[in-house]
Amino acid sequence: MPFPAQGHMNPLLKLAKLLHSKGFFITFIHTALYHRRLLRTSSSSSVSSSASFRFVTIDDGVSEDESTHTLHYVQDCMRRHCPASLRELLVREEDEGVVPPATCIVSDGVMSFTLGVAEELRLPQVLFWTMSACGFMGYLLFEEIIKRDMAPLKDDVTARNDARLDARIDWVPAMKNARLRDMPTFITHPSHPKHQGMLEFMIEECRNASRATAIVLNTFDALELPVLDAISASLAPPVLTVGPLMGLNNNKLIFEEPKVWQEEMGCLKWLEAQQDSSVLYINFGSIAVMTSAQLSELAFGIAGSGCRFLWVVRPDSVDGGLDGLPAGFVEETMGRGLMIMGWCPQEEVLGHRAVGGFMTHSGWNSMLESVIEGVPMACLPSVAEQPTNSRFACGEWAVGLEIGLIGDLKRERVEGVIRELMEGEKGREIRKRALEVKEEAWRAVKPGGSSYVNLDKLVYDVLKAPMTLNG
């Protein structure tokens, strides 16, 4: 059961497919909100299922008018409505006997209300926190940060220049290079209108994590071992790394994946005509939004860098649409850039030989997709734990260059980082390191690798699939 957003849906679906390939019958649960979004782009009236992998929708109490939604509103509705809907579904289906009775629940880490249902029905319950280990650690540290009186800071507007944001998280050795400003934005910008209630919510979700039978993370040991050790030391359940899931997930597609956006495939054809590692791919995921002033700064920086680029802009990601593009941007970049209003097959794009850099909002799925393809990054984080991901990618792992928060965007900085990434000495070092990390990622998912072994532990020790199911 994923949280209803693309960055959660993708990894949960990948894990579900892996569990299916190990012999489990899968019921993949959408909430009504996500189902409505799917139907907006789908011609059929329902989401397709196969005999042993089906999609079911349960009631979530979320209003149909999405313009009024905040993250916390959606979370709160689901927390209040979904447990009863989920319980009713599981009990009814067990009584009817048409599908096999549920033997375990795997849900998103931020959907911990499922724990109560699992406990009542005496089922093992795995929480899959879809973020990086460093991001998860950031959330786990919220209570301690508050206890130490480092945050929350009162005023968001002045907060960015507040020297207190430079305080180090030095009491956790694995986080010692991170500053308060690198922690998830729910604690550094708590009064942002979109963050209302999220600080308290995440603290509660972190407390609930201890009730799970196991915690699963989409990362790999070689990348985040010190932080993973710190997480294991602070949580009772075993923490199993099974990432990058896209590396483990080599089983054939068994159904058409439900998608909220139609993919524009034309960009792959354009990439075909470009030279190896020559293109900067720019995409800010499924949630990040920017103002037209920020779009304009970004466009000036991209145009000024002179680089070849593929820029995919989600239609609802800029207030005011593309009107904010500077006059002459299209003419100036004609022939060396492709800008697409829409959604692209990102994993294929990142795997394309022509892509030599990725300007990302530092969402965890995007970063992992970049890591497994060895593509170096320019990081422009926006919300949630993205600043933490950016800090680790550009510091500890040395696979990216930091542009800074989207909210602080300056064209000179954008231009400078792009040049450095695509042509500079630092860029060359980072590219080399990205290829080493790519090797480490693939080692983790090959037989005997840490994530490969952990997946088996999850399947046979935690979720207790009979060994014979493995074929």
Find the shortest distance in angstroms from Cβ 15 to ligand UDP.
13
Enumerate long-range contacts of 262-265, CB under 8 Å, 24 or more apart.
262/41, 262/342, 262/343, 263/342, 263/343, 263/344, 263/345, 264/312, 264/340, 264/342, 264/343, 264/344, 265/344, 265/345
Q: Which of 23, 24, 34 is nearest to 1 (CA)?
A: 34
Using CB under 6 A as the binding rule, whether residue 313 contacts ligand UDP is answered as no
Q: Looking at 206, 287, 406, 421, which residue binds ligand UDP (CB under 6 A)? A: 287
By CB under 6 A, tell whether 286 contacts ligand UDP: yes
Residue 390 in the binding site for ligand UDP (CB under 6 A): no
Q: Answer yes or no: are the C-beta atoms of 233 and 148 closer than 8 Å.
A: no
Size of the site for ligand UDP (CB under 6 A): 19
| Contact code string over 359-388 relative to ligand UDP, x by CB under 6 A | ----xxxx--x-------------------
105 bridge partner residues: 125
Cβ of residue 312: shortest distance to ligand UDP, in angstroms? Answer: 5
309 part of the interface to ligand UDP, by CB under 6 A: no
Active site residue 408: no
283 near ligand UDP (CB under 6 A): yes
Altogether, the residues listed in the chain come to a count of: 471
Q: Distance (Å, rounded) from C-alpha 246 to C-alpha 219?
A: 11
**Catalytic residue from among 30, 35, 108, 221:** 108
| Identified catalytic residue from 8, 72, 189, 195 | 8
CB nearer to ligand UDP: give 91 or 341: 341
User: Is 166 among the catalytic positions?
Assistant: no
d(CA 314, CA 321): 9
Instruction: Tell me which of 142, 343, 358, 392 binds ligand UDP, using CB under 6 A.
Output: 343
Interaction pattern, residues 8-27, with ligand UDP; x per rule: CB under 6 A: --x-----------------
Catalytic amino acids? Answer: 8, 108
Q: Which positions lie near ligand UDP, rule CB under 6 A?
A: 5-7, 10, 283, 285-288, 312, 343-344, 346-347, 363-366, 369
